[in-house]
Amino acid sequence: EDKVVQSPLSLVVHEGDTVTLNCSYEVTNFRSLLWYKQEKKAPTFLFMLTSSGIEKKSGRLSSILDKKELFSILNITATQTGDSAVYLCAPEGGTSYDKVIFGPGTSLSVIP
């Protein structure tokens, strides 16, 4: 059975802190891993990772995938209150058809 675990489930930090969010997965025929940000509405896309060891960056956010150890991390540096959201990781894979399943999310609160 496919499984996605995210840690921590909840995190409170002060503005300016750096955070690391973790995602581990067990997915048959793994293809890629997606990261999304959700702020009380539909999730918005952050990254898609397909290759191990290649860091993807977008401003203060970065992410990397380790296909051997079956995990990914999302880093946010110099956090701002606007980073407060739920961060979801979603591996893609499957037995018959490829599908995307989501982890439970990490709820990040950034306080001034």
99 touching another protein, by CB under 8 A: yes
Rounded CA-CA distance 13/64 in Å is 22
Number of residues in the chain: 112
8 three-class SS: coil
91 touching another protein, by CB under 8 A: no
81 three-class SS: helix
The values of phi and psi at residue 82, to 5°, are -70, -10
88 touching another protein, by CB under 8 A: yes
Q: Which is nearer to another protein, 17 or 84 (CB)?
A: 84
- Cβ proximity of 56 and 75 under 8 Å: no
Per-residue mark of binding to another protein, 24-63 (x: CB under 8 A)? -------xx-x-x----xxx-x--x---------------
Q: Site residues (CB under 8 A) for another protein?
A: 2, 4, 6, 31-32, 34, 36, 41-43, 45, 48, 86, 88, 90, 92, 96-105
